[in-house]
Structure 1
Amino acid sequence: MFEEILKYLGIYLLACLKSIFPPLLGPAAGMSNFEIIAITVAGLMTSVLIFNFLGEKIRTDIIPFFIKKPKKFSPKTRRMVRIWRKYGVVGVCFLTPLILSPPGGALLVAAVGAPRKQVFLYMLLFGLMWATIWTYSVDWLIESGLVRR
């Protein structure tokens, strides 16, 4: 029982960092597709909740503690600004599970002051979409024999 809890907790915590981990690791752990999708979305939404509510505090208090002299415009920040200007809230929420990490996407939308309800809705919808696509893609690869379980 304790091992099962640790298994689910570990994959959930990885989902908080990057949404692709549960679809890749879930089949090896013996999880069903529904469990994998649920854990993926739960991890994504946990990151979004934490970083959306604490995003400004993290940016002003915690990051300067670790980075003494932050660069104003690094290549990474320029890319984030370009993504935001080009695609807006919907585009960032769409790209967060795919390209950005859940903390990165949540910090980006929190930094620009996007409406929280809109962010939560789009992150949930796109998180479900990507989790389903990835889970069934990995399942198809396993079933077709291209990848071993």
Structure 2
Amino acid sequence: MQKLSSYFTVYLFASVKFALAPPTGVALGLSEWEIILCTVAGMSTTAFLIPLLGEKLFAYLRKKRLQKGKKIKIFSPRKRMIVKIWQKFSIWGIAFLTPVLFSPIVGCAIAVSFGVPRPKILLAMAISALFWAFLMTLGSEWIAHWWH
């Protein structure tokens, strides 16, 4: 039961804030492959769900924001940076930077906002998750070993 709880914790972190998942997996005593599998599964789940909710979710959030009287900025430094990344690298750049710069939810939302088809979002995010999960798991284990 404890192992299942550890898997779910890493999975949940990966689906919301990717960078927390590998160090958490190391701290919970999971093996490299368990951490990588749970991390990729977590981000892939988000990459599957966000495009499904897509337009309806954005419309709802926009409506709520406007009801509260908040302005919606069309141009901000962050939005300009996202557009530059998109123009240079398309979905692959967004997917590559999602685990380290954005959260999986934000990265998928960006992809949806640019009209990327769901299968392409899922593929790009899964490949990115695999790369970063491997790298971050090894890095987390190295830091944990060095720390002790």
Give the TM-score category using the shorter length: 0.7 to 0.9
Gaps of 5+ in 2: none
- C-alpha deviation, 1:67, in angstroms: 5.0
Alpha-carbon displacement from aligned partner over 1:115-147 (angstroms, at most 9, x marks no partner): 22222112111110110011112222333xx22
Give, as a single letter, the amino acid of the residue that structure 2 aligns with 1:86.
K
Which sits farther off after the overlay, 69-78 or 131-140? 69-78
Alignment coverage as a number of residue pairs: 145
Once residues 64 and 82 of structure 1 are traced to their aligned partners in structure 2, the CA distance between those partners, rounded to angstroms, is 27
Residue 87 of structure 1: aligned partner: 89
Residues 66 and 6 of structure 1: CA distance in aligned 2, closer, same or farther (over 3 Å): farther
CA RMSD of aligned residues (A): 1.8
Gaps of 5+ in 1: none
- Tell me the TM-score normalized by structure 1: 0.86
Once residues 67 and 41 of structure 1 are traced to their aligned partners in structure 2, the CA distance between those partners, rounded to angstroms, is 35
Once residues 9 and 127 of structure 1 are traced to their aligned partners in structure 2, the CA distance between those partners, rounded to angstroms, is 17
Alignment of 1:1-149 (within 5 A): 1=1, 3-66=2-65, 68=67, 69-143=71-145, 146-148=146-148
Alpha-carbon displacement from aligned partner over 1:72-107 (angstroms, at most 9, x marks no partner): 222222222222112111111111112121111100
Identity %: 35
- C-alpha deviation, 1:50, in angstroms: 1.3
Once residues 64 and 4 of structure 2 are traced to their aligned partners in structure 1, the CA distance between those partners, rounded to angstroms, is 34
Greater share of helix residues, 1 or 2? 2
**Is the 8 Å Cα contact of residues 64 and 70 (structure 1) preserved in structure 2?**
no
What is the SS of the residue equivalent to 2:27?
A: coil
Once residues 72 and 18 of structure 1 are traced to their aligned partners in structure 2, the CA distance between those partners, rounded to angstroms, is 25
